[in-house]
Amino acid sequence: MSTATEIDVKELLAKIDSGRRPTLLDVRNDDEFGNWKIEGRAGFEIIHVPYFDFIEDEQAAIERVPAHEVVVVCAKGGSSEMVADILRGAGIPARNLIGGMIAYGEYLEPLKVPRPRDEEGDFEIWQFNRRGKGCLSYAILSEGDAIVVDPSRAIDVYASFLEQSGVRKVHVLDTHVHADHVSGSRSLAERLGADHTSMKGGESIRVGKILFQAIATPGHTPNSFCFLAAGRYLLSGDTLFTKSVGRPDLGGQVVEWSLDLFDTLKDRLGTLSDSTLVLPAHYSDMTEIDPNDVVAARLGQLRHDLPEFKVHDPNRFSEMMLQAVRTPPPEYARIIDVNLGNSTIDADLMVQWELGKNACAASAQH
């Protein structure tokens, strides 16, 4: 909860996005600041004065900070709390970000996906945005049934949301084996006494009034799936994003997997209407959040905009992917192993492995 001396992630992001922008003072070291920082929907001032600068020469460090509202951030909220105290002692209105960058990286916000008025009574789609990582997960609700797709490990958020929504029956599933974060699907299913669902391509289940269909879409991984809800909402996992496609190299077989991805984009998704709304599992930056506060795009627009859709030769497509991918973070192989159920990790190590934005996309235009 925010106070006169502290602010939580929810309030900070609301202030940044709405234009009521405090200056953000990041006191982490140079490498940490350079690799990952807080982002907003609107521009805001962010300055970097490492914590140790305040230790070595407090007055000189204070003079680098503007004398108006400041939010101080560090990795976990400890060093920033001390700096905020120092600044308030110097007459600068400073608040500490509770939990620091770890809290930012784990913050999860449910947002309702807008739909035509004549559909609103049939079902709801909710997108859960984990902004610090650019991760997206979903809950679809209809007549007391729900299906949760790609939940992160913050399962309390989903459990509380479903309880408040009065849901009676729940299915939980993933679009693929995630590499950038530990999946919460098994633990959420256990918590709720729900079905941890595994679907094959072509299979479908009914969720209240709607049909939920699985489409096998190999490419990002050999066992990637997209899920089509009500025939017109595509939960695309890491197969297709709003500005890029899923990287096909995490298994070390970029040529083979990119050929699968080519077939997926051209053939497996080729029968879907241009009006299909694509709802991905990740995004790369704030510009992908639309005016309705969700990350989504019409399939027809992606076919028009993305160079990956305009290549008609599979070998040329593979060459594009070879040029687009870059070395994945070393933690990804370990996280995949955990998500496959082959190993376990303690909570502190899990937090460390997940720090930073996702690196799940490959884009020829970048």
Catalytic residues: 74
CB of 137 closer than 8 Å to CB of 149: yes
Closest Cα to residue 163, out of 200, 184, 191? 191
Q: What is the 3-state secondary structure (H, E, C) of 146-196?
A: EEEECCECCHHHHHHHHHHCCCCEEEEECCCCCCCCCECHHHHHHHHCCEE
Residue type, 90: A
User: And the tokens for 97?
Assistant: 């970000």
CB of 293 closer than 8 Å to CB of 283: no
Q: Rounded to whole angstroms, how far apart are CA atoms 97 and 141? A: 34
User: And the tokens for 324?
Assistant: 């687009």
